[in-house]
Chain A
Amino acid sequence: MSRPAADPALSAGQLHWAALCAGATLLPHLPRLPLWLGALAALILLWRVASTRFKGAVPVPRLLAPLLALGAGVLILTQYGTLFGQQAGIALLVLMLGLKYLECRRPRDIQVLVLLCFFLQLGLFLDTQSPLTGAGALLGAWLATTTLLSLHSRQRPSAQVRTAGLLMLQALPLMVVMFVLFPRIPGPLWGLPADAFSGRTGLSDHMEPGAISSLSQSGEIAFRADFAGAPPPPAQRYWRGPVLVDFDGRRWTAPPPRTASQPAYTPRGTAYDYVLTLEAHNRRWLLALDYPGAGIADALYTDTLTVLARQPVHQRMRYAATAYPDSPVGTDLAAGQLIPALALPASGNPRTRALGETLRQRHGQPEAVVTAAIDWLRQAGLMYTLRPPRLGLDTADAFLFDTRQGFCEHFASAFVVLMRAAGVPARVVTGYQGGEINPFDNTLVVRQSDAHAWAEVWLAGEGWRRIDPTAAAAPLRIDGGLAAALPDDAALPLLLRPDLGWLKTLRDRWEFLGNAWNQWVLGYDQKTQRSFLQRLGLTPDDWRQLGMVLLIAIGTVLAALAWWAQRRTLPADPLQRAWQRFERKLARAGLPRLPWEGPADYATRAALAFPASAAAIRAIAGRYATLRYGAAPASARDAQALHSQIKRFSIQCG
């Protein structure tokens, strides 16, 4: 039973738990790591586990770990160009974890390894915080607890897992209390590395041919909208992003925004109220359904009818907005304000320019020119496709007259060039169009694949009018989404395929869960916390009150734990347990056993005190004495019989 007190060598079981813990933490990182690093870490783990398993394997050469560290460090430096970025930091952590496992000799090494695992787990959250990641982290924490426990417990592995699970269960209330009540400070506290938040997809503030069609391959969610009533019909679901006015012949860019705290137009017509949950996209614009009314919290309204946040959206955010699709916008613009919307590069796209000139001469009135241009597009035999052929230098010319195949950005770009050539002010609007209702929670889910580009022309007296040139060639795109508009043989992202209905249902269900997760777990920020605390009747600004509530809540949990710790658990012996129950029954009736009294004396006294139950008392005491002090050890069945006899026993007063 005794074991040496000195810092002992590690047992195989302890090393295996550590390997499991490290492996579970590393696994979700593998797709994000350079192949060689993932392979190196996996190799180290497997090799050490194998050499623990089969005794007599070669010991680790003394110089191996420093050499590996140096070599891999240099490789990481060349791969990322730095050692201090977010990605490089995670790569270094992975390397340290692998090397630490390689040279694990004493319990302290395993403790360090477990702490490294915690940091690495945190690193994963920078990339993804999905429910699956959360479940993985929970499993990782469990394994880490088991690993630490195995350093001090010599129980069977299954018992160790159970004890670790008990610790986790006891930690849960503390976690919930602190998660809800710990004051949330909006980050960042200091400058983040340059590559923080990289790799998030979304619209950009410029557009080149191919920019949006690459987005359309992504099934990622851009935002969700929860309408108070019925959502607007699909043809009105235009979510405005950046408006691109400046054109250099190939690339459209957004002009620097001029902002105001109010929209520049008077909202009119039907109103649609909704709450929008925007995924982080690291840009300032807040997607809003055309045309947003005033009142979006903390937002700025630009002269291009876009809504901007004050800071780039680095984390998911929610805002309430109202849309007035029928509002007239831009009615009172001066001619000078329209000059950028008429500008074309000095040269390029000669055929489109010629077409514009012809249209203007033939129709004169801008409105008639616009109608004629749409008719022309409709008859030009343009094809809507996800994979347009490469266009030359004169993109509008090439699309309208040569290849005649394009995606929405080709349609919008060519149409705006045509309009400007015809003397009609026009601009490109990018954003999202459409979206799907998730039947499980009735939110409208808009994905990156719903990214769209359309045009706006300015007509005197009417203001800006939305023209969607894509609709002219592929009307189904607007009503039925991307999948409906494309020819059957076009390569579509898997989940956009109409024949995989069950897959879509599954995804809807998963995303419904994801939405709840986002709102209640990930979206629990300072704002949510304040409103939640207010609903609890607290004053969130009063930090003393908040601290008090936090202390009381933690104190309650600790008191429960303290009660649990000092509670006298039942004795191991079932016979004794049953007998104690009998004693409790008699004690409740006013006859506690005296400290020096044996079972027989006690029973005699009890039989005298309760003559009506004397027979039962003697029977129980006799049976107990036989089982307890008899020659043959009591079997489990005997103990059970005594237990049920005592359970049935009640004192007859009389």
Chain B
Amino acid sequence: MNDRTAPNTWRSRLLQAVDRRLLRVRTAEPLPLRLPQRRVFVLPTRAGWVFGLTLMAMLTASINYTLSLGFALTFLLAGVGIASIFHAFRTLIHLDIDAGPTPPVHCGEPGCFGLALRHQRNRPRQAIRIRNADNAVTVDLPPGGHLTVGLSVPTTARGWQAIGRVTLETVYPLGLIRAWSVTTPDIQLLVYPALEEHPPPPPAGDGTTRSAPMASGVDEFAGLRAHRPTDSPRQIAWKAVARSGTLVSKHFQGGSAGPLFFDWQQLPPALNDEARLQRLARWVVDAARSNNSWTLSLPGTRLGPDRGAQHLHRCLRALALYGQDEHVPPGR
């Protein structure tokens, strides 16, 4: 995250220096990534310090009362604590990290970065905690297995959003030692523009504005149906959900279905760029939902006419990256 919001204070500069020099963090590391030994660090946890203090007290008591078995027990427990350092270390090293599915979301919705963990050993790796600034997940990796974890983040701006600093850590086996490694894997989340809440009806295919929203057919309410995972939250019929207890979505019927044409140039001049993008995003989403065919025209780009999910994604992507460099996400 620090690459997006980098206030030039001494504190953030210090943190960046620590990241770079000490933790050997690079920005946007190419994947797949295997955690090498020199990037896994260990330090006692709070419980570990308390454990150490307890052992010191036991050692003092053993000296004071000349308890040979006390010495033996203290040293045995110290040995267990020290051995646990290596178990914690072993839990992280040589762990393969790859990008997992990171589906695009609209700005304002929670995004989810996918991280795939993989290894080849014939023993499990337990209690690995994957953490970013906003969220943390703890997982067990089965022997020789792989799994995908999702780290959710809030989204605040359209365009590419980088996963930022990810910490992999574990206090396995005894909770006395924390082993951790900080990485910045090259995983990008595409954030579409937010959808305008109450947009005016889109213009007709010939470019004239339709008179009333109900006549357009695009927003025509056609009844309720069972919720599908792909439905947008605003499609859910909350009143019906409250009554029935199951998720139901509002179903809109595409009406007349002339070819739709959404043109940046024809939007009211008072609208600023972001508002234009939000309105256009809304229109293409609604058009896709009612299974219409549409054309999107942006300065320098024209997409369509076409229909379907592929076309929708292309359009939303173009809207998301409008005015930004298409291929190089910010922060690089």
Docked CA distance A138–B78 (Å)? 13
Which one of A221-229, A237-245, A563-571, A588-596 is at the interface? A563-571
Cβ of A339 under 8 Å from chain B: no
Determine, out of B59-67, B105-113, B210-218, the stretch whose residues face the partner at the interface: B59-67
B63 touches A187 (CB 8 A): yes
Could you say which residues of chain B place their CB within 8 Å of the CB of A126? 65, 67
How far does the alpha carbon of A3 sit from the alpha carbon of B126 in the complex, in Å?
Answer: 12
Answer whether residue B127 sits at the interface, using C-beta atoms and an 8 A cutoff: yes
Is there a chain B Cβ closer than 8 Å to A163's Cβ? Answer: yes
- Chain A interface residue count, CB cutoff 8 Å, equals 70
Nearest opposing residue in chain B for A522, CB measure: B68
Taking the complex as formed, is A50 at the interface, i.e. its CB lies under 8 A from any CB of chain B? no
Q: Is the CB of A572 within 8 A of B67?
A: no
List of B residues within 8 angstroms of A125 by Cβ: 65, 67, 69-70, 73
**Complex interface: chain A residues within 8 A of B64 (CB):** 187-190, 192
- Least distance between A130 CB and chain B CB atoms (Å): 9
- State which residues 110-142 of B face A: CB under 8 Å: 120-124, 126-127, 129, 131, 136-140
User: Is B240 among interface residues, defined by CB-CB distance under 8 A?
Assistant: no
Give the top 9 A-B pairs by smallest Cβ distance, nearest first: A171-B79, A572-B144, A174-B79, A572-B122, A170-B83, A565-B86, A178-B75, A5-B136, A565-B90
Q: Which of B79, B127, B129 has the most CB of A within 10 A?
A: B79
Stretch at the interface among B166-174, B228-236, B254-262: B166-174
Chain B CB within 8 A of A129 CB: yes
CB-CB under 8 A from B171, the residues of chain A are: 152
A482 contacts B by Cβ under 8 Å: no
Contact A152 B66 (CB under 8 A): no
Q: Is B209 part of the binding interface, using a Cβ–Cβ cutoff of 8 Å? A: no
Residues of chain A touching chain B, judged by Cβ–Cβ distance below 8 Å, are 1-5, 107-108, 111, 115, 118-119, 121-122, 125-126, 129, 133-134, 137-138, 141, 144-145, 148-149, 151-155, 163, 167-168, 170-175, 178-179, 182, 184-190, 192, 196, 314-315, 521-525, 558, 561-562, 564-566, 568-573
Name A522's contact: one of B69, B129, B131 (CB within 8 Å): B69
Query: Looking at the complex, which one of B69, B75, B122 makes contact with A133 (CB distance below 8 Å)?
Result: B69
* Chain B residues engaging chain A, CB cutoff 8 angstroms: 37, 47, 50-51, 54, 57-58, 60-73, 75-80, 82-84, 86-87, 89-90, 93-94, 120-124, 126-127, 129, 131, 136-140, 143-144, 147, 149, 171-176
Rounded to whole angstroms, the CA-CA distance of A133 and B171 in the bound complex is 32
Q: Which residues of A sit under 8 angstroms from B58, Cβ to Cβ?
A: 118-119, 122
Given A2-B138, A111-B47, CB of A569 within 8 Å of CB of B121: yes
Other than A167-B87, A171-B80, A178-B71, give 18 A-B pairs with Cβ distance below 8 A.
Answer: A115-B51, A118-B73, A122-B61, A129-B69, A144-B77, A148-B176, A163-B173, A167-B80, A167-B84, A168-B76, A171-B83, A175-B79, A178-B78, A524-B68, A562-B86, A564-B86, A566-B94, A571-B121
Residues of B within 8 A of A108 (CB): 47
Nearest CB of B to A596, in Å = 16
A121 neighbours in B (Cβ, 8 Å): 73
Residues of B within 8 A of A524 (CB): 68
Q: Which of chain B's residues has its CB closest to A5's CB? A: B136
**Residues of chain B contacted by A152 (CB below 8 angstroms):** 126-127, 171-175
Q: Is the CB of A521 within 8 A of B68?
A: yes
- Check A134–B94 contact: CB distance below 8 A: no
Q: State in angstroms the CA–CA spacing of A61 and B175 once bound together.
A: 30
- Residue of B at shortest CB range from A130? B69
For A149, the closest partner residue in chain B by CB is B173
Closest to B48 in A: A111
Residues of A within 8 A of B68 (CB): 129, 521-525
Residue ID in chain B nearest A563 by CB atoms: B86
Q: Give the residues in chain B near A315, CB-CB below 8 Å.
A: 66
6 sample A-B contacts, Cβ–Cβ < 8 Å, listed by A number: A2-B149, A5-B137, A118-B58, A126-B65, A154-B126, A566-B94
Q: How far apart are the CA atoms of A171 and B57 in the complex, in Å?
A: 19
- Taken together as a complex, chains A and B put the C-alpha atoms of A596 and B51 apart, in Å, by 49
Specify which of B123, B144, B174, B176 lies most central, judged by the most chain A CB atoms within 10 Å of its CB: B174
Decide: B175 and A111 in contact? CB cutoff 8 A.
yes
Instruction: Point out the residues of chain B lying under 8 angstroms from A129, CB to CB.
Output: 67-69
Give the complex CA separation of A318 and B136 in angstroms. 60
- Across-interface contacts of A119 in B (CB, < 8 A): 54, 57-58
The distance in angstroms between the C-alpha atoms of A342 and B63, with both chains bound, is 48
In the bound complex, how far is the Cα of B129 from the Cα of A148, in angstroms? 18
Residues from chain A with a CB closer than 8 A to the CB of B79 are 170-175, 178
Minimum C-beta distance from A478 to chain B (A): 37
